Structure 1
């Protein structure tokens, strides 16, 4: 079996960057009180917005919750096991899919001049498209948080309908993942579960 070091050498990124983004990165469950600035959140978005999606659409929307008032509105909708860490995190970002994303598309796409009209047709198909591509962007966002030297604590344990009614009642945003963002606190990591090996996942034909 090829060693991890040899595989790391096969990649373009330096190994310490590979470790930062993937091998050593962990989901944080406690956070320090070190603040996360608006500039850091903007820098994360300005990096990950370039990552690929279907037809380069960008249906992901983000609600940044950092004030006591915002946390007070959010916490009742979080699962009980996620409330304390969400309350303690310096910033919590609700990542949502906008099913009206097509309204922000340019009038013409290279090689696809009818793209905007195509999305305007079926709301059900548009919602599925928005969810798929927003979830791609959620993954990019988590990597972007790590690239900023911060820890991400993504969660799906929450009442999505409740969050949507609380924060997005006047628009077609549908919450997908809630991510706590900050510097890790005391004992931030759960035990790491094993990962499947290459031969267990990859098949070549």
Structure 2
């Protein structure tokens, strides 16, 4: 039987973790980004479809490509972050199910030619995988700033011109500046968002 993680780990991943908007001028090694992705890919998705696709926007050229598609309020925090992850999903993820879901040889037929099923599984799975990426990044000592304030169509045209991938949300990654954090905003009480049936 698995035991609970130590409080210090839970604090790092959840209780003390915050959304960062101010960043130290400190690069993230590519090896760390790779490790983040290797951890994130282990989380579950429907039919093990793994529809999420991540673009780690790191270079000055790629940041400039992203800049015109950011909402004004997200410009500073994104342009100063060492890395920004475009969390997207592959609308043809089902073409890899022969490899990803070998125990379900008919899995491709659940999605191929069914746009509603593709959209639901792609969006839902990439949401999950983006959340796993946040947990993976925090576990490796990075801070995160997830956000949705950007022109999705513009990002798709700039980074995914073929139309196969669709952006979902962005995550700034780096080493935050704790002194710049405001007080944690409230959360709902258990009774306000949970029911035990």
TM-score tier after normalising by the smaller chain length: over 0.9
Q: Which residue of 2 aligns with 1:192?
A: 184
Q: Which residue of 1 aligns with 2:113?
A: 121
Deviating more after overlay: 131-140 vs 112-121:
112-121
RMSD: 1.6
Cα distance in 2 for partners of 1:45, 1:155 equals 19
Q: Pick from 48, 52, 55: which aligns with 2:44?
A: 52
Cα distance in 1 for partners of 2:22, 2:153 equals 26
Structure with larger Rg = 1
Q: Which residue of 2 aligns with 1:3?
A: none
**Alignment map for 1:102-117 (pairs within 5 Å):** 102-106=94-98, 109=101, 111-117=103-109
CA deviation map 1:149-170 (0-9, x unaligned): 1100111000000000011012
1:17 CA drift (Å)? 0.2
1:111 CA drift (Å)? 5.0
CA deviation map 1:54-106 (0-9, x unaligned): 11110000111111111111011000010011111111111101111111222
Q: Which residue of 2 aligns with 1:101?
A: 93
Q: Pick from 155, 159, 162: which aligns with 1:163?
A: 155
**2:70 matched to 1:78?**
yes
Q: 2:69 touches 2:150 (CA, 8 Å); kept in 1?
A: yes
Q: Which residue of 1 aligns with 2:22?
A: 30
* Structure 2 segments unaligned to the other structure (5+ residues): none
Cα distance in 2 for partners of 1:96, 1:180 equals 14
Cα distance in 1 for partners of 2:97, 2:46 equals 13
Please report the TM-score for the alignment, with normalisation by the length of structure 1: 0.89
Pick closer, same or farther for the CA change 1:108–1:77 going to 2, 3 Å: closer
Q: Pick from 143, 158, 161: which aligns with 1:151?
A: 143
Pick closer, same or farther for the CA change 1:108–1:158 going to 2, 3 Å: closer
Please report the TM-score for the alignment, with normalisation by the length of structure 2: 0.93
Cα distance in 2 for partners of 1:107, 1:93 equals 26
1:127 CA drift (Å)? 1.7
Where has structure 1 moved over 3 Å in runs of 4 or more?
107-111
Q: Which residue of 1 aligns with 2:174?
A: 182
Q: Which residue of 2 aligns with 1:20?
A: 12
Cα distance in 1 for partners of 2:100, 2:186 equals 46
